[in-house]
Chain A
């Protein structure tokens, strides 16, 4: 478990904590343009979780490339130079 993978895991896990802890957002105030907190908060989380998934995706790709590169250099006996 590398630090990057821990961050990826946290990004993917955060929405579960936020959404399943219903007590933290089951209230009417503060309302936003007349929409109770309960509704706009959850819709805001659509955006937050999207951002988190994007971060996870970018990190994951970088991680995969690094792994592929190190695998190549080890099999080709240090032949990878990019």
Chain B
């Protein structure tokens, strides 16, 4: 991949990168409110974003650079199984439509910034809130790391990633620069930076996909030829497993895996701190519902993008690391300048979610660890300060992850992260609709889900890895292969329900619920929601 530097592509890439950097810093002045030192301003963009900004922000957030590299890469490697990303993103919107407006309302009424804030207020339990916060931070870190992996893939193909024998510092210098820039403007502009950059990112991505999906098949002789080449490749037998290397449609045994992965991932997606951060930054619950009707445009794009995996096969792309397949396809198929645009799209596509994720993780730390446990009397200024610094630390952590360890470690952890974050589902979504669950039962259920999920994932082996070889395992009772996260969350709910009965019978103290039923349906304009947010009151014990 490193036979030379693609100068034209590199220049185009750098131009876009510089433009975006300037925007990132200028974003601090964009729609600035009077009280800029509060966490609402830095961490939620003043909770002021309307339908279109939210659309770009959530789109830029949920469909990350890693998605753009990994989904076609999975298709390239194994065919149909990788396409589950499409049903997964279809299912996520009815879920958001149903759940998140309630979370938005209660968060606005009580000034909650994170999901853990809500859990603490709802159940009066700092322990449960801490569990949710730690799960969120743990799940987000490897996700940020994978965004850097996405940038690395692009740099590699452009020829600036350096070969195996380059000095490590020179090899990683471009990534370090990209990272430093990202960290600096996130620090200074907060959530406004990714919101503004998301416009550029998504415009680029849409242009690139539109061109790629028309131009590349024409060059390859139409979709017929593309799928013929793909099915030819998938019929070849893998020498290690002695099974076909892939399939155009999932066979009977793979269908359970496909469906459970789609459902489990959809349930997990909006539990992630970064989706919640983007959602809470919108200015009304209407904005969220309206967005569920326009966000699927991204899913359509993702589906088209996934097809690029087949095109990479048809174009005869041979890469050892599947993640390079799509950047390499762009490099081979497009004129250099347009390849540069495409690489910029992926590169910037990594910056937006990485910024939002680090802000989300920082908010969790500040609100639910720093303020709840370390310094209960922190002022809004101090909260913002801590959040800014933690957003840097989180990114440094991700960088160490990517540079210090094998890439597969980040991927393994991201896989685990999905399983983990799903374990906060009963506390969060359950809490949005009912107060029936007991707080201690929820903690126990969470712990069981976390341990079971981690252990099961550890047990999965693949031809190349002894552990963490995948995210599916046999489901107890059903006996089919399914997504571990989903099995774990079912177990989690079972434990929670049984223990709630027990604890209620034993009259265990329930904790104070500071929310009231009308909080869950409040909209902007209602008393106590807009324009002024009430100060957050610590949960009473």
Contacts and interface: CB of A to CB of B under 8 A. Distances in A.
A38 B248 contact: yes
A43 B300 contact: yes
Interface of A: 12-13, 15-16, 19-23, 26-28, 31, 33-36, 38-39, 42-43, 45-47, 49-50, 53-54, 56-57, 60-61
Contacts of A19: 87, 90-91, 259, 262
A22 B307 contact: no
6 contacts: A27-B249, A31-B227, A38-B80, A45-B87, A53-B93, A56-B94
B292 interface: yes
Given A15-B90, A21-B259, A23-B255, 8 more contacts: A15-B94, A19-B91, A33-B222, A34-B224, A35-B307, A46-B296, A50-B293, A54-B293
Contacts of A61: 286
Nearest to A33: B223
Of B225, B248, B256, B286, most buried by chain A (CB within 10 Å of CB) is B248
A61 to B, nearest CB: 8
B155 interface: no
A22 B252 CA distance: 9
Contact of A50 (B250, B286, B296): B296
Interface in B201-234: 222-227
A60 B259 CA distance: 29
A49 B94 contact: yes
B249 A36 contact: yes
Contacts of A15: 90-91, 94
Interface string B182-212: 0000000000000000000000000000000
Interface string B238-259: 0000000000111110011011
A46 B83 contact: no
A46 B304 CA distance: 12
B87 A53 contact: no
B303 A43 contact: yes
Interface of B: 80, 83, 86-87, 89-91, 93-94, 97-98, 222-227, 248-252, 255-256, 258-259, 262-263, 286, 289-290, 292-293, 296-297, 299-300, 303-304, 306-307
A13 B94 contact: yes
A19 B252 CA distance: 15
Contacts, number: 103
Nearest to B86: A42
Of A36, A47, A53, most buried by chain B (CB within 10 Å of CB) is A53
B248 A57 contact: no
Contacts of B97: 12, 53, 56-57
A61 B293 CA distance: 13
A26 B250 contact: yes
Given A27-B249, A34-B222, A46 B94 contact: no
B202 to A, nearest CB: 17
A2 B225 CA distance: 52
A73 B290 CA distance: 28
A12 B255 contact: no
Contacts of A57: 97, 289-290, 292-293
A26 B251 CA distance: 8
A60 B226 CA distance: 43
